[in-house]
Amino acid sequence: MTAIPEPRNTPHSLLLATDLSARCDRALDRAAQLAGEWQAELVALNVLDPAASPDQALAWISGASDEQLLHVARQQLARDLAAANVPATLRLVRSEDATAAIRETAASTQSGLVVTGVSCNETLGRLLLGSTVENLARSLSQPLLVVRSRAREPYRRILVASDFSEPSRHALLTAARLFPGRELVLYHAHVLAMSGLADASSHPGVCIGIEETEYAAFMAATALPPNVKVRPVVKCGAIESTLTRYVREHDIDLVVMGSHGRSGIMSLLLGSTAAKLLDWLPCDTLLVRTPTNTI
């Protein structure tokens, strides 16, 4: 009798969007780690835009062809991945619209996750967060992993930011699917009238009430796999400050955020609140866009 394989919940393929520069090394390492953990194919995409890269501009002016640039990129990627022991393929696209190129490649390769990085340089980092990452988060159907930290080990301490909305539920379910066996922290920040930066310890009754009502109702309506453990954390105050502090104090590896919702963090993903979180959070961030038919 032929055994029927169990359904797979983790991606078969993931896409690394990289310019092959040093600032994408951490994203490459994390993409390689996840590909190994999930036994998934790793596709690395380099978007050639001579107008945005001085070395590529010089190469084009000197008459370098797409194949020549691809050859150089392949050589560099092979060196970068040599120690990772993960098979990878490289895609090279010439485009002035990096967002569209990444989105189209993710679709054509059926990638279940897109991985990108941010620069340690403030100017470049802000430029990236203000353009490519925001545009991808608004338009990608796949989750977008923005890597900031070194990939020293698999993600262990994972937090899902929640306002108890449907997009929050989708983010929680996505985290449970991608990272089975981990305990997930479901984090909610409650802003009290006239005390936006107050700490939860000053209002224990409010937090307990939220856990017993909104959190309980939210979890009762969420069909999680039976082996998933979720621990509620409710804080009083602005999420930009309370969440950033919690991440640092508890050494969180990954924060998962939904793309729409009722409150500041989820409203019109990457509005002022979420943009601040991407800038402030010291850990990696997974942005999960909710299917339009569930909003």
Give kind and range of the element (H or E) at residue 193: none
Same-domain pairing of 143 and 183: no
- What does the pLDDT look like over 37-81, one tens digit per residue? 999 999 999 887 655 555 555 555 566 676 777 777 777 777 877
Give CA–CA dist 144/230, Å, rounded.
22
- What does the pLDDT look like over 117-130, one tens digit per residue? 875 444 334 434 44
Q: Does 4 map to a domain?
A: no
Same-domain pairing of 120 and 219: no
| Coil, strand or helix at 3 | coil
Please tell me the predicted confidence (pLDDT) of residue 1.
37
Domain boundary (147, 176, 192) is at: 147
Same-domain pairing of 180 and 247: yes
Q: Count of alpha carbons within 13 Å of 33, Cβ hemisphere only?
A: 16
Q: How many domains does the chain have?
A: 2
- Residue 200's domain comprises 158-294
Same-domain pairing of 115 and 197: no
CA distances 42 to 121, 147, 174, Å, are 27, 16, 20
- What does the pLDDT look like over 187-218, one tens digit per residue? 998 776 544 444 544 555 656 677 678 888 99
Same-domain pairing of 199 and 166: yes
Query: DSSP code of 192?
Result: B
Same-domain pairing of 45 and 142: yes
Instruction: Determine contact, residues 161/187, Cβ cutoff 8 Å.
Output: yes
Q: What backbone torsions phi and psi does residue 135 show, to the nearest 5 degrees?
A: -65, -40
Least confident interval from 5-14, 58-67, 98-107, 197-206: 197-206
Q: Does 3 map to a domain?
A: no
Q: Does 5 map to a domain?
A: no
Find tokens 């029927």 and name the residue.
4
Same-domain pairing of 169 and 217: yes
Q: Does 152 map to a domain?
A: no
Q: Which residues contact 29 (CB under 8 A, 6 or more apart)?
A: 84, 150, 151
Please tell me the predicted confidence (pLDDT) of residue 78.
75
Q: How many helices (H) and strands (E) does the chain have?
A: 11, 10
Give kind and range of the element (H or E) at residue 72: helix 66-81
Does the model's pTM come out above 0.75? Answer: yes
Assess whether pLDDT exceeds 90 at residue 84: no
Instruction: Determine contact, residues 134/163, Cβ cutoff 8 Å.
Output: no
Q: Does 92 map to a domain?
A: yes
Same-domain pairing of 286 and 170: yes
Domain boundary (100, 125, 147) is at: 147
Least confident interval from 50-54, 80-84, 233-237, 242-246: 50-54
Residue 42 belongs to domain with CATH number? 3.40.50.620
Domain boundary (147, 178, 202) is at: 147
